[in-house]
Amino acid sequence: MTTLHWMCSLAALCLLIPIYLTSYRRTRYPYTLWWSGTLLLTFLAHSFFLLDGPVTGMWAVPLANAFVVMTLAAARCSVRALRTGHSRKRLVVVTGALTLIASATHTPDHPLWSGEAVGLAALTVVLALTAVELWQLELRLGGTKLFVLASVGFSLFFAARFAGVLVDATDGGTFTPRLDDPVSTFLEFVLLILATTHMFTVSHDQHAEVAQRKLLRSDATEAEAIQRKAERTRAQLDEAARVQTRLMPHKAPDLPGYEVAGACIPSGQGSGDFFDWQRTGCGLTVTIGDVMGKGMGAAMIAATMRAALRAGVAQSSTTSLIRSIDTVIEPDLAVNDSFVTLFHAQLSPEDGRLDIIDAGHGLGLVVRADGTRTRILGGNLPLGVLPEQDWMSREQHLDVGDVLLVFSDGLLDLFDGRDDQFERAVHAALTEGRSPNDIVKAVRRLARGRQLTDDVTVVAVRRTAPVPARRATTTPDAELTAAS
């Protein structure tokens, strides 16, 4: 839960900045202001949940519960403002105040007036009202079916948990009601990113439509003003692209016995490619993804995929992780007629074992210390091609001197050949040497000064030395158990 709260608060803060700067300040539409408030309340709610403790929890948790309810109420106001052009803040204030009072005066002797009961009832009502607004918006604009279903599902989910409070009272029992359930928090995190993407797209489309109408009926002076505004918009998109670049990992993970490096070279504003690595309790995860298409649309889907992978990295296996990510992201990919090729590997440092899922990527290989190469072919389709598929993982091992090399198809586009593109790309990547930094340097040099038609991404992992096995710590209870 701590990790999820951190991810939700950071994601809300990172999304608040572009939605406010590039949507509200540019358009002044009321619904973009309400959605900025939604993101701000989300950031505050999960930040206060992180303050839960023996002393601070007495005031932090009631505030967090109130902000959770106010977040969904603000989202409902944003949808209403998008549909009608105006909205009222009464729902946000009333539901937040009731939840705050109920949570602050919570006592086990009166479960029906506890923070859980009132908070869950408020969430149920607000989500039901949001589903109605989204349905009416779907009839007018379209593109919100996923969010209608999500609102209805969450409303029923919280209604069931509210019923659990009434049935179980303070005993816990069947439902064990809690406002910070990990499953609902993770789904909230993913839906928050998808909804913000949708809001950003709607705002951009509406602004572009208005600008076009003004251009058609304006004179030369007005056309010049619109051109200056378009230049400012392009500058903002350039800044968004720079933000995306800064969000890519730049510092190699501290993993004894291994060297890691990577780079993403975009072909324009925003990149549909992404790469990531993350230390886990089991070792290291390495990911390369390629979203179909180019520009900011593909870049936003790439950001969604990267964030969802980071949030779910604690899954027990690569197959379960990719299965859960595919279940959540597939409807949104289908709506946008897009798909994602993905290479995801979990590295166990002690034995060099790689547990790999290749979802239609097909551009990974292991270069052995003796120069031989083993290409990694996954047998899976890209994410978003089918509603469901059986995910198959592959296993490889890195011995001392071996290199895992993965790149995107943008590297292939740098060559004129057809049948031998893969071999030529691998040879070019290894011209500077076999260390990951040398490989990245070679790819950057190859792409420098060219008119790129696609994003170029590369990640390399090299095993440099044996890694001793971690010693298992034994507690006195465990020793007694082993002795018996």
Tens digits of residue pLDDT in 371-427: 999 999 878 999 988 888 888 999 999 999 999 999 998 888 888 645 468 888 899
Quote the percentage of the chain above a pLDDT of 90.
21
Q: Residue 275 in contact with residue 309, Cβ under 8 Å?
A: no
pLDDT, tens digit, 9 for 90 and up, residues 271-299: 788 899 998 888 899 999 998 877 677 77
* Integer Cα distance of 77 and 86 in angstroms: 8
On whether residue 478 sits in a domain, the answer given is: no
On whether residue 438 sits in a domain, the answer given is: yes
Q: Residue 95 in contact with residue 70, Cβ under 8 Å?
A: yes
Quote the percentage of the chain above a pLDDT of 70.
76
pLDDT at 305 over 90: no
* Integer Cα distance of 312 and 473 in angstroms: 27
SS3 content of the chain, % helix, strand, coil (to 5): 55, 15, 30
**What's the CATH code of the domain at 322?**
3.60.40.10
> And the tokens for 318?
């690569």
On whether residue 232 sits in a domain, the answer given is: no
> What is the pLDDT at residue 267?
82
pLDDT band at 477; cut points 50, 70, 90: very low
Q: Are residues 267 and 318 in the same domain?
A: yes
pLDDT, tens digit, 9 for 90 and up, residues 199-247: 667 666 666 665 666 656 655 566 567 777 767 766 666 666 666 666 6
On whether residue 435 sits in a domain, the answer given is: yes
pLDDT at 177 over 60: no
Question: Is the Cα dihedral 267, 302, 442, 367 positive or negative?
Answer: negative
Q: Are residues 67 and 133 in the same domain?
A: yes
Looking at the structure of the chain, the number of domains it has is 2
Q: Which of 244, 286, 285 is nearest to 455 (CA)?
A: 244
Total H helices, total E strands in the chain = 14, 10
Q: Are residues 213 and 285 in the same domain?
A: no
Q: Are residues 115 and 181 in the same domain?
A: yes
> What is the pLDDT at residue 376?
92
On whether residue 471 sits in a domain, the answer given is: no
pLDDT, tens digit, 9 for 90 and up, residues 8-24: 788 888 878 877 777 77
* Integer Cα distance of 367 and 365 in angstroms: 6
Question: Is the Cα dihedral 415, 420, 425, 427 positive or negative?
Answer: negative
Label residue 171 exposed, middle or buried (CB < 10 Å: 0-12, 13-18, 19+): exposed
> What is the pLDDT at residue 2?
81
Q: Are residues 256 and 210 in the same domain?
A: no
On whether residue 78 sits in a domain, the answer given is: yes
pLDDT, tens digit, 9 for 90 and up, residues 306-328: 888 888 776 668 888 888 888 88
Map residue 440 onto helix, strand or coil.
helix
Last residue of a domain, one of 217, 237, 270: 217
Question: Is the Cα dihedral 136, 140, 145, 147 positive or negative?
Answer: negative
> What is the pLDDT at residue 473?
46
Range of the structural domain that residue 112 is part of? 2-217
pLDDT band at 483; cut points 50, 70, 90: very low
55-93 b/e (C-beta count within 10 Å ≥ 16 → b)? eeeeebbbbbbbbbbbbbbbbbbbbbbbbeeebeeebbe
Q: Are residues 151 and 55 in the same domain?
A: yes
Neighbouring residues of 161: CB distance < 8 A, sequence distance ≥ 6: 120, 175, 177
Q: Are residues 254 and 150 in the same domain?
A: no
Other Cβ atoms within 10 Å of 235 Cβ, number:
10
pLDDT band at 334; cut points 50, 70, 90: confident
Q: Are residues 209 and 259 in the same domain?
A: no
Q: Are residues 180 and 317 in the same domain?
A: no
Q: Residue 343 in contact with residue 356, Cβ under 8 Å?
A: yes
Q: Residue 274's beta-bridge partner residues?
A: 289
Q: Which amino acid, one-letter code, is at 370? A: D
Q: Are residues 327 and 449 in the same domain?
A: yes
Q: Residue 273 in contact with residue 457, Cβ under 8 Å?
A: yes
pLDDT, tens digit, 9 for 90 and up, residues 123-171: 788 878 877 877 877 766 666 777 777 777 777 877 777 777 777 654 4
DSSP 275-312: EEEEEETTEEEEEEEEESS-HHHHHHHHHHHHHHHHHT
> What is the pLDDT at residue 262?
93
Label residue 245 exposed, middle or buried (CB < 10 Å: 0-12, 13-18, 19+): middle
* Integer Cα distance of 92 and 33 in angstroms: 14
pLDDT at 355 over 70: yes
Q: Are residues 306 and 255 in the same domain?
A: yes
Read off the pTM. Answer: 0.50
pLDDT, tens digit, 9 for 90 and up, residues 74-127: 888 887 887 777 777 888 888 888 888 877 776 555 444 456 677 778 778 887
On whether residue 417 sits in a domain, the answer given is: yes
DSSP category for residue 313: T
Q: Is the model more confident about 227 or about 257?
A: 257
Q: Is the model more confident about 197 or about 176?
A: 197
Q: Are residues 274 and 156 in the same domain?
A: no
On whether residue 469 sits in a domain, the answer given is: no
